[in-house]
């Protein structure tokens, strides 16, 4: 299922729960061992990321329509389906706007209020992209004059959004660990200036 989800998000995906309005699918994973299906999605006219989880009893992909049906009870199911071609541009813009809102506004604001180890928007973008690729992002993305997020495919952008939201909500990897991990990828482990000063004082 995860292979399908990655492919579908890259092509543009809608998420539908029962008779609710179809939403843009941002990120989704399925754990076969627990049968847990997790989705993150946004309404087309909003920038609020929503999350839901279900224990799936049965799932199936319609080969003709390329729709995924995931049943969480004998009568109830959710589905993921292709996005109409004319909405693809709007889908991409919505993902980019949400990513920029998180990294340019919400995370820097939270960092100032809670005194995190990093505060600048470009720092959050660096640690998030390094984390989703598990290496320095510029080793993965093709060289271009475009901003890094512009070079992400839809699935990677959705994964970056999900990671950024977890950081904001303090539900994922701690920001200190993400920063340390990012510096490690870039061979930039440096002793904090205060530690250098303290070591100097203690040696006198």
What are 42-98's pLDDT values in tens digits?
Answer: 987 767 899 999 999 999 999 999 999 999 999 899 999 999 999 999 999 999 999
Q: Rounded to an integer, what is the distance from CA 193 to the centroid of its chain? A: 32
Q: Is the pLDDT of residue 191 over 50?
A: no
Question: Apex CA 163: angle with CA 160 and CA 165, to 5°?
Answer: 110
Report the percent of the chain where pLDDT is more than 70. 90
Q: Is the pLDDT of residue 177 over 80?
A: yes
Residue closest to 82 by CA, chosen among 70, 58, 64, 57:
64
Q: Are 25 and 18 in contact (CB under 8 A)?
A: no
> For position 201, what pLDDT does the model report?
45
> For position 62, what pLDDT does the model report?
96
Structure tokens at 104: 């340019």
Cα–Cα distance between 200 and 137 in angstroms, integer?
Answer: 36
> For position 188, what pLDDT does the model report?
66
Tell me the H-state helices in the chain: 2-11, 88-100, 107-114, 121-133, 154-169, 175-185, 193-203
Q: Looking at the DSSP assignment, which residues form a beta bridge with residue 15? A: 23, 80
């Amino acid at each position: 299922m995860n292979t399908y989800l990655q492919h579908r998000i890259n092509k543009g995906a809608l998420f539908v729960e029962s008779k609710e309005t179809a939403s843009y699918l941002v990120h989704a994973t399925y754990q076969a061992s627990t049968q847990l299906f997790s989705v993150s999605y946004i309404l087309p006219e909003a920038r609020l990321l929503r999350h839901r989880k279900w224990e799936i009893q049965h799932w199936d992909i319609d080969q003709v329509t390329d729709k995924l049906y995931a049943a969480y009870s004998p009568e109830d199911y959710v589905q993921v389906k292709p996005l109409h071609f004319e909405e693809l541009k709007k889908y991409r813009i919505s993902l980019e706007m949400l990513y920029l809102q998180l990294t340019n506004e919400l995370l820097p604001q939270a960092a100032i209020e809670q005194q995190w180890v990093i505060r600048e928007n470009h720092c959050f973008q660096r640690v998030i992209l390094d984390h989703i690729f598990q290496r320095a992002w510029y080793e993965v993305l093709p060289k271009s004059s475009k901003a890094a997020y512009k070079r992400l495919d839809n699935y990677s952008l959705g994964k970056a959004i999900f990671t950024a939201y977890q950081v904001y909500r303090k539900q994922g990897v701690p920001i200190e660990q993400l920063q340390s991990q990012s510096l490690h990828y870039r061979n930039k482990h440096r002793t904090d200036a205060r530690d250098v000063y303290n070591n100097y004082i203690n040696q006198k």
